[in-house]
Structure 1
Amino acid sequence: MLFQKGSEKMSYRVAITSSDGKCIDQHFGNTKIFYVLQIEETGKWEMLELRKAEEAEIKKLATEQGKFGECSGHNDVFLDYVSNLLSDCTYLLTSKIGMRPYKVLMENNINTLEAPHDLSVAIEKINNYYLKNK
C-alpha cells in the first residue's frame, strides 16, 4: 500500500518478524509480534508500531470455525488473521517462511521476502527492490 501527501515522495509500510526490532531473525510461523515500519523512497524510515497476533483471538476464531488444534503458523485461521493484521503493509520481511503461508500472504497482496539480515541492511535492500519494481 502506498501513501502520498501532497507533492511529497511516496512511502510504504513493511512488517518484519524480529525478536528485538533490530534484526530479522524470526520464522514466520513462530512470530506473534510484527514490527511495522514506514519507509520513504529516500530510504528514511521510522518504526510505527508493534502488532500482536493475539492468541486468544486466534483460538476463538479457530473454535468458531471448527479448526481448533491445527499448527499455529500454517493454519487457515492464523494465516487469515495475519493477512488482515498486516493488510496495509506492502512487504513482509522474515527470516524464513513456508510455501503455503507465502502463497496466502501473496494472494492477499503482501509481498513476502526472506531477509534474515540486520534491519538497516534489510531496509536498504527492500528500498532498492521497491524502487526497481514500483
Structure 2
Amino acid sequence: MSYKIAAASSDGERVDRHFGHADLFYIAEVADDETYQLTGKRTLKSPCRHGIHDLQEMQKAVEVIADCRYVLCEAIGAGAATVLEQCRITPLETDELITKAIENIILYRKRFKKMQCAAPTT
C-alpha cells in the first residue's frame, strides 16, 4: 500500500527542522513497489513561538500533513508527538538526508513485513 512521508527541511535536502519550528514540509510518496518520489512541498505557520506552543496552530500543522504516514524532523517534543500519533502519523527524529531517511523507512517496513510473515501462528 502506498504512503506519504513529510520531511521538515529548510532546503529540501536534509531533515534539519524541529517539528514545532518547521514552516515547510517536503512530501514524498512511496509506491507499492517501494520506489519513491518527492511530490511537492507544503507550507504552514510554525506552531512554536519562542518556546510557547499554540495548540490551535499545532492542530493546523498536523492537518497540513494529515495524509502522511510518517513525519521526519530533527527533533520533536512529547506534546507534538502525541498529537501526531493520535492522528496515526508516526514522528521520527533524524538529521539525515531526506532520501536516506526515506530509504531507512522503506527498509524498516520491508523487514517488519518479512518478520510478520515468518512469525509462527499458534
Q: Which TM class, normalised by the smaller chain length?
A: 0.7 to 0.9
> Do structure 1's residue 110 and structure 2's residue 89 form an aligned pair?
yes
Distance (Å, rounded) in 2 between the aligned partners of 1:71 and 1:106: 24
Task: State the partner residue of 1:22.
Answer: 13
User: Residue 93 of structure 1 aligns to a residue in which SS?
Assistant: strand
Distance (Å, rounded) in 2 between the aligned partners of 1:133 and 1:78: 34
- RMSD over aligned Cα atoms: 2.3
Structure 1: gaps (5+ residues): 1-9, 59-69
TM-score with structure 1 setting the length: 0.74
User: Residue 12 of structure 2 aligns to a residue in which SS?
Assistant: coil
Paired residues of 1:72 and 1:78 also in contact (CA < 8 A): no
Distance (Å, rounded) in 1 between the aligned partners of 2:66 and 2:43: 14
Structure 1's 97 and 11: CA in aligned 2 closer, same or farther, altered over 3 A?
same
Which amino acid in structure 2 is aligned with residue 105 of structure 1?
L
TM-score with structure 2 setting the length: 0.80
Paired residues of 1:24 and 1:117 also in contact (CA < 8 A): yes
Paired residues of 2:4 and 2:70 also in contact (CA < 8 A): yes
Q: How does 1:33-112 map to 2 (within 5 A)?
A: 33-54=24-45, 74-112=53-91
Distance (Å, rounded) in 2 between the aligned partners of 1:104 and 1:79: 8
CA shift digits 1:72-127 (9 cap, x unpaired): 87321121101111110000011100111011111111110102101221011111
Structure 2: gaps (5+ residues): 114-122
Q: Percent identity?
A: 29
- The alignment covers a number of residue pairs equal to 113
